[in-house]
Structure formats: structure tokens, C-alpha cells
């Protein structure tokens, strides 16, 4: 009886190991974009543009208001949505 239990548990362990080895997932490279609600694009420009030196990549009008994006590198952007009530939002 004990041998049957050991063989059964060993078989389950081996099948779990084989299933785990078959999963082929792509690597995670990082975060491509972060979006923030801000009360003023001027404050964003002062901090991220002038102080930190990020370049404004593009801006456009979205459903929520004006959206402004700053390029961090070739793969990452910071996106800011202007909303005068951003301080009250949670």
C-alpha cells in the first residue's frame, strides 16, 4: 500500500514538472507607459521638461482632456492628462 502511494505521488510530481517545463512565456521588458492625472500641464513642463530634462514627444486631445506625453527613452513614455480637479480625484 505504501509503495502504491509513493509511486502515485512520484507520478504526480513528474507530470507537474513536465507541464511546468512546457510553458514558454516571453520575457517582461518593463513598463512602456505610465499615465498620470495632473491639474496643470505648466507644472508638468516645469518639473519633467525643465528640471528633469525630458522632451515632450507629442500631445493630443483625448476624451478626458489634453494628453501630453514625454519621452523617457525609445521604449518608455510618461503620459499626463490635464484635469483641473486632479487633486480631488482618487
- What are the pLDDT digits (tens) for 16-74? 555 555 667 777 777 888 989 888 889 999 999 999 999 899 999 988 788 999 998 88
Cell output for 83: 484635469
Is 13 a member of any domain? no
Q: What is the CATH number of the domain that holds 83?
A: 3.10.180.10
pLDDT, tens only, 62-71: 887 889 999 9
pLDDT of 11 reads 60
Is 46 a member of any domain? yes
* 15-to-3, 6, 8 alpha-carbon distances in Å: 18, 14, 11
| pTM (predicted TM-score) | 0.60
Rounded CA gap, 38 and 66, in Å? 10
Is 9 a member of any domain? no
Q: How many domains does the chain have?
A: 1
Rounded CA gap, 87 and 77, in Å? 22
Amino acid at each position: 500500500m505504501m509503495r502504491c502511494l509513493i509511486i502515485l505521488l512520484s507520478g504526480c510530481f513528474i507530470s507537474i514538472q513536465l507541464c511546468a517545463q512546457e510553458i514558454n512565456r516571453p520575457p517582461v521588458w518593463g513598463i512602456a507607459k505610465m499615465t498620470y492625472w495632473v491639474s496643470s500641464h505648466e507644472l508638468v513642463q516645469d518639473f519633467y521638461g525643465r528640471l528633469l530634462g525630458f522632451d515632450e514627444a507629442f500631445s493630443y486631445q483625448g476624451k478626458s482632456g489634453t494628453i501630453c506625453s514625454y519621452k523617457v527613452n525609445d521604449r518608455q513614455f510618461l503620459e499626463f492628462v490635464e484635469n483641473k480637479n486632479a487633486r480631488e480625484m482618487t
